[in-house]
């Protein structure tokens, strides 16, 4: 959009650009800057317009973009253009992701390179390597307390070893995603060190306070993320003689985005990595980016403006790069991280579907789909050019972040139901096969979350221990069923490393003093590659899951209706234990898939007429893509065995 004030500012900035920037051919940079400048200017003005240094900060922002555009390697610039031309490229069903720790999946980055063929074997082609940047020993929060944003941690490898992985994945037409921990730094980051030593410029990078007056006011409305280990949201720094805001651990200092320097520094760091070939940036803890007295300091309007500004600037330099929003917040808030009041995504193109994840775990505990069906009503249609990451487990705990009113709407008492879920997943509930550990228990509020590996939470650990083959068999079906949903729901399925082999809880963290207080380490395993070899042994646990996933990924890739274009309709099924939806392809009405699952261990019937009505499709003559056989039908009912699912389509 053309608008005089911003245009005049742009002209002046371009006029004043340093000669070394002016000299370079910047055609695509200028056309994109022209397209986005009004938005960039307006957002920057909204956030920082009241500052005396508004203009020099804006100019600095444009310079940072220009420099990074100039530095962007030609191959990535070409990729940007190809993706601009095929702008829905990431909504295609061919993408399947895996998140992993370099030093858990492998020894380190160099060793990870050796395992790249494994990705191809399984069929995953989007690799999210969990944080690998330099962190202090011990005070690392699993890599999320970064002390140098431009340097791979020497314990993980080097920037060169990462570059080799990037190149090798790109050769295989796979994507790589990396974290940018935008919300905070380690207390050992150079900025924090300088702040502690009294440099005011760097104290302004954080929220620092001489006394408890303002911190106490903040505390009245701020929840605690790690109540057990890091109660409160502020930490006293002796050297600085000030309080500093630390929402997560006491050694993770929250960055102050009301300072435009912080914004531009972080943008520069993002460009550093996208110019090294990173396709997707996972923006960590984005809900926390803006702090305001009297609020929970989550999901504030300004946090969204900051994300929009990041996006608008990134589109100028590297429009082929995507953002993932890690915002594990209430269902109606998550969707806003794509952007509000827009047609196409304007903040992050991808967001964790924490709503679906948590609701699926509810179905595991209750063996029914009641809350899932109710909760999904809160999941509005996405914007265009936006997609979900559908996942079952990740490196974090599971929070039961659904709404109390939904729990009540399906007939449970919210407090009682939440207690039941905790009891179920910690194995305290009679008949529960799960063996998770509580995480983030807050005595004041009664909140709690769950840690544990997928297989152990579903019950495989206990049933193997008991030597109960039938039960183990059932757990395997359950694990495969859950995957069938993230593969078909619409969005990018994101597997968590180890789950493809049925890896159980790892209790070794109990013997490690640094890890002991954080039960999330129970599900951050070290892969034993000798055990992984069992994926070739018939009927082993490893083979059962691995081969099922291989096959599912293959089928997904062949099924156009599984691409993500808001092309899903939930089925209205009266059987509480069953859940389903129809996926269709607007381009070709014949391509429709009915997905139905049975969340209970006992066989269930689905009335065929009801199914036909709800799916607006006659199920007669359909084939189950999964088994490549017609589904089982008995007296006008579709029959689903315990933990069975169907992907029904016309062959």
Residues assigned a catalytic role: 284, 326
Q: Is the CB of 202 or the CB of 352 nearer to ligand GLC?
A: 352
C-alpha dihedral sign at 525, 99, 176, 249? negative
CB of 416 to ligand GLC, least distance (A): 22
Q: Residue 390 has which token pair?
A: 């559908």
Question: Is 551 exposed, middle or buried, given 0-12, 13-18 or 19+ CB atoms closer than 10 A?
Answer: middle
Residue 386 Cα distances to 186, 203, 324, 568, angstroms = 31, 37, 10, 14
Kindly calculate the radius of gyration of the chain based on its CA atoms and give it in whole angstroms: 25
Q: Is the CB of 395 or the CB of 478 nearer to ligand GLC?
A: 395
CB of 288 to ligand GLC, least distance (A): 7
List own/partner pairs for 509-514 with CB under 8 A and 24 or more apart: 514/138
| CB within 8 Å of 196: residues ≥ 6 apart | 187, 237, 239, 240
Q: How do beta strands 568-570 and 633-634 pair?
A: unpaired
Q: Residue 201 has which token pair?
A: 């410029």
Q: Is the CB of 153 or the CB of 396 nearer to ligand GLC?
A: 396
Q: Is the CB of 62 or the CB of 389 nearer to ligand GLC?
A: 389
- Let me know the angle formed at the C-alpha of 66 by 259 and 46, rounded to the nearest 5 degrees: 35
CB of 186 to ligand GLC, least distance (A): 10
Residue nearest to ligand GLC (CB): 144
SS (H, E, C) 316-380: HHCCCCEEEECCCCCHHHHHHHHCCCCCECCCCCEEECHHHHHHHHHHHHHCCCHHHHHHHCCCC
Residue 148 has φ and ψ, to the nearest 5°, of -150, 110
CB of 396 to ligand GLC, least distance (A): 4
CB of 471 to ligand GLC, least distance (A): 31
CB of 157 to ligand GLC, least distance (A): 21
Q: Is the CB of 66 or the CB of 351 nearer to ligand GLC?
A: 351
CB contact at 8 A, 625 and 647: yes
CB of 494 to ligand GLC, least distance (A): 13
Contacts with ligand GLC by CB under 6 A lie at 141-142, 144, 181, 225, 248, 284-285, 326, 328, 395-397, 399
Q: Is the CB of 9 or the CB of 357 nearer to ligand GLC?
A: 357
CB of 284 to ligand GLC, least distance (A): 5
Q: Is the CB of 69 or the CB of 251 nearer to ligand GLC?
A: 251
CA 419 to chain centroid, in Å, comes to 26
CB of 108 to ligand GLC, least distance (A): 20
| CB within 8 Å of 137: residues ≥ 6 apart | none
Query: Nearest-CA neighbor of 149 among 186, 175, 177, 112?
Result: 186
**Nearest-angstrom CA–CA distance, 131 and 386:** 24
**Nearest-angstrom CA–CA distance, 57 and 264:** 8
Spell out the alpha helix ranges (H) of 427-516.
454-458, 460-465, 469-488
Q: Residue 191 has which token pair?
A: 């900025």
Query: How many other C-beta atoms can be found within 10 angstroms of the C-beta atom of residue 231?
Result: 12
Q: Is the CB of 253 or the CB of 584 nearer to ligand GLC?
A: 253
Q: Is the CB of 40 or the CB of 225 nearer to ligand GLC?
A: 225
- Count of all residues that appear for the chain in the document: 651
């Amino acid at each position: 959009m053309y608008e005089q004030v911003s245009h005049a500012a742009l002209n002046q900035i371009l006029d004043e650009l340093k000669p070394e920037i002016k000299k370079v051919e910047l055609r695509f940079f200028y056309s994109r800057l022209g397209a986005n400048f009004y938005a960039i200017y307006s957002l920057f003005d909204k956030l920082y317009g009241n500052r005396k240094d508004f203009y020099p900060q804006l100019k600095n922002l444009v310079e940072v973009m220009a420099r990074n555009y100039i530095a962007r390697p030609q191959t990535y610039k070409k990729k940007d253009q190809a993706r601009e031309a095929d702008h829905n490229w990431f909504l295609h069903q061919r993408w399947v992701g895996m998140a992993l720790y370099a030093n858990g999946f492998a020894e380190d980055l160099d060793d990870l390179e050796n395992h790249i063929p494994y990705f191809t074997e399984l069929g995953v082609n989007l690799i999210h390597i969990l944080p690998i940047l330099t962190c202090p020993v011990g005070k690392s929060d699993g890599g999320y307390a970064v002390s140098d944003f431009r340097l791979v941690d020497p314990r993980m490898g080097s920037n060169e070893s990462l570059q080799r992985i990037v190149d090798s994945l790109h050769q295989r037409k796979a994507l790589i995603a990396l974290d940018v921990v935008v919300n905070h730094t380690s207390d050992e980051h150079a900025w924090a060190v300088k702040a502690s030593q009294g440099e005011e410029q760097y104290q302004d990078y954080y929220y620092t306070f001489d006394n408890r007056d303002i911190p106490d006011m903040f505390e009245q409305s701020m929840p605690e993320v790690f109540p057990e280990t890091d109660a409160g949201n502020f930490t006293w720094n002796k050297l600085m003689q000030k309080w500093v805001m630390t929402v997560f651990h006491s050694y993770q200092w929250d960055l102050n985005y009301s300072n435009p320097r912080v914004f531009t520094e972080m943008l520069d760091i993002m460009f550093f990595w996208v110019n090294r070939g990173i396709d997707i940036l996972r923006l960590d803890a984005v809900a926390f980016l803006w702090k305001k007295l009297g609020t929970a300091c989550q999901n504030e309007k300004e946090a969204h403006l900051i994300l929009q500004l990041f996006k608008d600037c990134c589109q100028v330099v590297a429009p082929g790069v995507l953002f993932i929003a890690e915002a594990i917040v209430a269902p109606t808030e998550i969707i806003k991280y794509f952007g509000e009041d827009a047609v196409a995504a304007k903040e992050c193109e991808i967001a964790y579907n924490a709503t679906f994840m948590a609701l699926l775990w509810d179905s595991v505990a209750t063996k029914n789909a009641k809350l899932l069906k109710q909760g999904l009503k809160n999941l509005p249609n996405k914007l265009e050019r936006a997609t979900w990451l559908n996942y079952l487990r990740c490196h974090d705990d599971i929070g039961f972040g659904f709404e109390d009113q939904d729990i009540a709407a399906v007939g449970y008492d919210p407090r009682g139901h939440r207690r039941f879920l905790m009891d179920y997943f910690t194995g305290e509930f009679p008949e529960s096969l799960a063996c998770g550990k509580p995480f983030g228990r807050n005595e004041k509020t009664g909140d709690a979350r769950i840690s544990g590996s997928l297989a152990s939470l579903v019950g495989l650990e206990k049933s193997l221990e008991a030597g109960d083959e039938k039960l183990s068999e059932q757990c395997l079906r359950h694990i495969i069923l859950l995957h069938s949903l993230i593969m078909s729901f619409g969005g990018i399925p994101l597997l968590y490393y180890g789950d493809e082999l049925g890896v159980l809880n790892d209790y070794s963290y109990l013997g490690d003093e640094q890890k002991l207080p954080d039960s999330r380490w129970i599900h951050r395993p070290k892969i034993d590659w000798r055990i992984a070899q069992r994926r070739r042994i018939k009927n082993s646990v490893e083979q059962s899951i691995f081969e099922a996933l291989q096959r599912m990924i293959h089928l997904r890739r062949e099924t156009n209706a599984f691409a993500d274009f808001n092309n899903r309709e939930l089925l209205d099924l009266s059987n509480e234990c069953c859940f389903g939806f129809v996926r269709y392809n607007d381009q070709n009405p014949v391509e429709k898939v009915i997905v139905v699952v049975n969340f209970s261990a006992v066989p269930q019937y689905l009335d065929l007429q009801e199914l036909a009505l709800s799916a607006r499709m006659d199920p007669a003559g359909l084939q189950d893509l999964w088994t490549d056989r017609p589904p089982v039908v008995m007296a006008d009912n579709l029959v689903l065995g315990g933990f069975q699912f169907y992907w029904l389509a016309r062959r």
